Structure 1
Amino acid sequence: MKTIQYISYLFLFILVSACGKIVDKVDNLGNYPAAGTFDDPATSGAFLSNLYGSTLSSGWPTGMAGNADEGGGIIGDGWVTTDNGTMKFWPYATIRKINILLKELPAGKVVAEVKNPMIGQAKFLRAFLYFKMVYYHGGVPIIEVPQELTDDLKVPRNSTSQCFDFILKDLDEAAALVPKKYTGNDRGRIDQAIVLAFKGRVLLYKASPQFNPANPYDNAHWATAYTANKAAKDFLDANGYGLLEDFSKVFETKGHKENILSVIYVNPAKTNGRAEDGVRPLSESKNSTGLDQPTWGMAEAFPMKDGKKPGDPSSAYAYNPQTFWLNRDPRFDATMVWNGSVYELSGIKGRRQYTMSAIAKSMDAFGFIIQGENHYRTGLYTRKGIMEELPSTQVTLNDVDWPEIRYAEVLFNYAETANETGKPAEALQVLKDIRKRAGIEAGGDGMYGLKAGMTRVELRQAILDEKRVEFMFEGQRFWDLRRHRMLNVLNGMRKYGVMATKVNGLAYDQVTPTEIGKANRFELLPQDFTYEIVELITNGPKQMVMPDKYYFFPIQLSNINQNPNLKQNKDWGGDFDPTLH
């Protein structure tokens, strides 16, 4: 028991520090480890920790919102090519390290009660990497052993179906080897809760229109995906997971019941997974800004307090773009920052964020006359994942955990599969639960603003719309649209922001010291301004370009040149079919 506890503390230390004498003993982890590495629990643990760092190192997908309809940024023509590295994923160096552990650790002298969970964690990490390759590219070469220079390295691609089978086999074997739930100093390690939740995600993709264009919603994979996601939900419910009662606390506290797989950040050893220095307005940041700024379309996606869409005549709340922040879904206040709203960055009590030219500080403004203005300004900011108390000089010390999988995602996965397998009541209940937690009013009919008697197609869209709001800036939206073969939503899209053009009737070039003084004292309120909805300002492309060939990205040409047995995807000059044909 002491040995297991020692490894637990060691794991967390190495995971967040990536340094120390134990790591040194493993030598260069890119090479084959020294003899005896897997006879010792400490060096085995160090090797495994390095794999975690290589596999789950990305943190918050900051900037990904610009690829979809959430954030500023325009994806123009030629974004992805066979030559560039955009949207390419080929982690075979890390897979080789995982295969080394899976070959050597079973034969090592580490006791079974310690090494078996390590083997299970490594199998999960391998499945995690293969799954990402598959939803990027389709089928890829399956390599289960550490290749040597004497081996035939020119391995052909396996079919997409074979890759899914391989991924699911690894996940099932991982689930049999890891405990039900890690807590305390073990939090962040792969356990059964993580494996089952992730398996549900994998099977959701396998059933999706992306992989089944000829039969997008009636293929047999949906039933398998439903069974897996319901099993994951039931397991999580039985083991203390669930929706956190307060949505605003999901990203402000650690180790709570909603986070299933967390990438843990700890100041000062491992920080800034949120890239807060790029997300904050420049006046309270350092050297950078412009990431994850919500578009006007994203602002309008949030419902009103009664769950109705803005402007819906049946809503109890009137909607006016001049007071767009009033009476909205509480998640709007929890995640959005608009002109004149309270945003207490650097711990400044009562601080309000301004975005009007001549009123806002530094480059915080969104206006036609600002030097250096570009399409990343939208007139909106976000508070999701931001540690507002940090001063600008310490903005890179943000150590908010990245929730790679949280309970709400499992609910949405379960809802999608329920809807596609003839169980609309189960899917609708998920939406009600999500909206209830958000603080939306139930209404006299208990529908939380949702339409009664929705068709399968309507409920499918309602799930996607709700997830767009719930997971804003968590890197889900682009992949959800792609998974449903709905890139047409983005293709040709123009993006807009909300510009404060007047304050108390005065344009930017009429502003007096009185207004500036009020702004400096944070006395100007959102309703003191006049707003216009304007297209994002850019010298580059103005429309999004998302062709159908982006449903599967190409293998990078440099990899094909190294291995002529790799076939390119059929929409990229080759004849490999990445679907489950």
Structure 2
Amino acid sequence: MKKNLNPIYIIAFVAAMMAGCADDVLDVKNLSVYNPDDVWNDPTLSNAYLVDLYASTFTGWPVNNGDNADESVGIIGQGLVQTTNNSFKHWPYTNIRRINVLLNDIDEGTLPEATKTAIKAQAHFMRAFHYFKAVVHHGGVPIIKVPQLLTDDLMVPRSSTLACFEFILEDLEQALSGLPDKFVGGDFGRVDKGAAMAFKGRVLLYMASPQFNPSNPYDNSYWQSSYQANLEARNFLESQGYGLMENYSDIWRESANKEVVLATVYRNPVRVNGRQEHCVRPISQSRDCTGSDQPIWKLVETFPMKDGHMPGESPNYTYDLQRFWENRDPRFYDVIVYNGALYELGGQAGRRQYTDTQVGGIADGFGANATFNRSGFYTKKGIQEELPIEQAQLNDVDWVEIRFAEVLFNLAESANEIGNNGEAFEILKLIRERAGIEAGADSNYGLKAGMTRDELREAIYTEKFIEFAFEGKRFWDLRRARKLHTEIHGARKYGLLAKLKDGLDPLSGGFMPEDFDYEITELFNTGQREMFTPEEYYFFPIHRDEIEKNPNLEQNIGWDEGGFNPVID
């Protein structure tokens, strides 16, 4: 992967470190060393402060997030989510306080007004980003707009979920008023107007969703707002040169490409291993770690055939489990590594990946008695295949927090809910056209013509499942749609067992995928075998410690006898 860009926030951070002041200036939790006269009068220090906010706001690849849904190996077991542990909690008030410090103090400094405006706009976006994640996890949370001294009692009650959404949108409007249209070159990776507009569309999509409107999931007025915001985001982004990449796989091979709206930038040797490639690779090509982001059979079988029809339903291509890899959606080969597939790790031309125990070995194989850790598949997404084993932890593929395709999906979903099903249908066609799926005689790319609103909604969710595999979307989409308790709760997970055909010598080598027999095999055949995602998981609890520290906080309904109702309607 070639990267010619020098993200300014990395440069500023390194410069501050070299100056010997970063440890003092950036530790805003220690008020004895935070000096606003130093920070907000010095361009380097103010930029370093902002850099540190970026680092604590935007994280890397969501590795193993698919374990929580029907995407990868892993099970949400009964008892995983509790009020006394940190599972599925987001309480970002340390970061919010630091953002509030910036917004409160910066105008007292001598920085140029244009610099102040740009910094404040980015800070408003990051505060909105933190509050949004908190609301998605817990519903309404305390709204704090000013920095509170650490000696103060933070006895702020929870605001309603609706009030929190309104506050998030206010912050985004503040951001939009001060952001440039587009950051490029050395500023790539900063939040600009396009990113803020796209994120606003995401926020309003959630605000309209069944998660927050269970009594009126698809006919509430928020869908119109979501549609308008996502339409404006699409139009603006296109005016700035954004769009779908011609090749799906190039999204992660070319930094700062036209599909990337907002990214966390990685660059060897300054910042590496956001993808945790050393754990996503098979152990034979890694270093002391493996097993992350393993596709399960549910994801594998969801990819359509290359004419867009589901396996077994295609009028053009026959489907056989024993040759499941043939004639599939081109994205299949960019995402899924199956037994016998070319996987040229370490730059080894012609290398094939095996997952059976005879040829692949116990380390990389799906053992016949496996109880947990082998699905029979790996993923290529975000992997730098050219890295040798000893450099597996030097992966510097950018994490794309928002890409143009998400804006299209958000627009399609909103359009469908307000009755613009034709517009939604055309967006799905665009996605499939870019994927390389055959148009067919009707130019519908395998999509059913004349779908109902409900059918099109499901088609959108399924297409997004494929398009965003291992990008951290699936679990949150199912939760947003209130599908956890109907599609995930009680579900079991399956992989594919490969076994070399009788009569073939495992030592002879050179085997192709068709030299094996395949059997769908249940994972987790001991202990808990079923996912546990009841209806209470649509809003996760606030940690009991936070409730005990602040008697004005009320726990969510369904947790510790809480009485707070986190829905909007």
So what's the TM-score if we normalise by structure 1? 0.94
- Structure 1 counterpart of 2:10, from 9, 12, 34: 12
Q: Distance in 1 between matches of 2:138 and 2:414?
A: 23
Q: Distance in 2 between matches of 1:540 and 1:185?
A: 51
Secondary structure, in 3 states, of the residue corresponding to 2:518? strand
Q: Which residue of 2 aligns with 1:517?
A: 508
* Contact 2:307/2:438 (8 A) holds in 1: yes
Whether 1:298 aligns to 2:295 is no
Q: Distance in 2 between matches of 1:16 and 1:433?
A: 42
Pair 188,239 (structure 1): closer, same or farther in 2 beyond 3 Å: same
Whether 1:428 aligns to 2:415 is no
Q: Distance in 2 between matches of 1:258 and 1:207?
A: 25
* Contact 1:131/1:164 (8 A) holds in 2: yes
Q: Flag structure 1 segments of 5+ consecutive residues without an equivalent.
A: 1-7
Q: Which residue of 1 aligns with 2:444?
A: 447
* Contact 1:62/1:292 (8 A) holds in 2: yes
Q: Which residue of 1 aligns with 2:412?
A: 415
- Residue 251 (structure 1) shift: 1.1
- Residue 205 (structure 1) shift: 0.1
Deviations 1:137-177 (A, max 9, x none): 00000011110145441111111111001100000010110
Secondary structure, in 3 states, of the residue corresponding to 1:117? helix
Q: Which residue of 2 aligns with 1:491?
A: 489
5 Å-filtered alignment, 1:132-281, equals: 132-149=133-150, 151-281=152-282
- Residue 12 (structure 1) shift: 3.2
Pair 416,9 (structure 1): closer, same or farther in 2 beyond 3 Å: closer
5 Å-filtered alignment, 1:465-476, equals: 465-476=462-473
Q: Partner letter of residue 26 of structure 1?
A: V
Q: Which residue of 2 aligns with 1:346?
A: 346
Q: Flag structure 2 segments of 5+ consecutive residues without an equivalent.
A: 1-5
Whether 1:559 aligns to 2:546 is yes
Q: Which residue of 2 aligns with 1:4?
A: none
5 Å-filtered alignment, 1:533-572, equals: 533-572=520-559
Q: Which residue of 1 aligns with 2:315?
A: 315
Q: Partner letter of residue 563 of structure 1?
A: N
Q: Which residue of 1 aligns with 2:380?
A: 383
Secondary structure, in 3 states, of the residue corresponding to 1:261? strand
Secondary structure, in 3 states, of the residue corresponding to 1:327? coil
Secondary structure, in 3 states, of the residue corresponding to 2:40? helix
* Contact 1:283/1:362 (8 A) holds in 2: no
Q: Distance in 2 between matches of 1:63 and 1:127?
A: 25
Q: Which residue of 2 aligns with 1:579?
A: 567
* Contact 1:15/1:53 (8 A) holds in 2: no
Secondary structure, in 3 states, of the residue corresponding to 1:363? helix
- Residue 355 (structure 1) shift: 0.8
Secondary structure, in 3 states, of the residue corresponding to 1:404? strand
Secondary structure, in 3 states, of the residue corresponding to 1:499? strand
- Residue 556 (structure 1) shift: 0.4
Q: Partner letter of residue 23 of structure 1?
A: A
Identity %: 52
- Structure 1 counterpart of 2:55, from 49, 53, 56: 53
- Residue 106 (structure 1) shift: 1.7
Stretch moving more, 142-151 or 126-135 = 142-151
Q: Distance in 2 between matches of 1:310 and 1:412?
A: 23
* Contact 2:209/2:481 (8 A) holds in 1: yes
* Contact 1:16/1:264 (8 A) holds in 2: no
Q: Which residue of 1 aligns with 2:81?
A: 80
- Residue 9 (structure 1) shift: 6.4
* Contact 2:8/2:187 (8 A) holds in 1: no
Q: Which residue of 2 aligns with 1:39?
A: 41
Pair 27,452 (structure 1): closer, same or farther in 2 beyond 3 Å: closer
So what's the TM-score if we normalise by structure 2? 0.96
Deviations 1:261-296 (A, max 9, x none): 000001111111011111111100111111110011
Q: Distance in 2 between matches of 1:434 and 1:27?
A: 43
Q: Distance in 2 between matches of 1:16 and 1:196?
A: 30
Deviations 1:415-449 (A, max 9, x none): 00000001001100110000000000000000000
Q: Partner letter of residue 471 of structure 2?
A: E
* Contact 2:26/2:49 (8 A) holds in 1: no
Q: Which residue of 1 aligns with 2:455?
A: 458
- Residue 17 (structure 1) shift: 8.7
**Aligned Cα root-mean-square deviation (Å):** 1.4
Pair 15,549 (structure 1): closer, same or farther in 2 beyond 3 Å: farther
Q: Which residue of 1 aligns with 2:332?
A: 332
Q: Which residue of 1 aligns with 2:71?
A: 70
Q: Distance in 2 between matches of 1:375 and 1:9?
A: 40
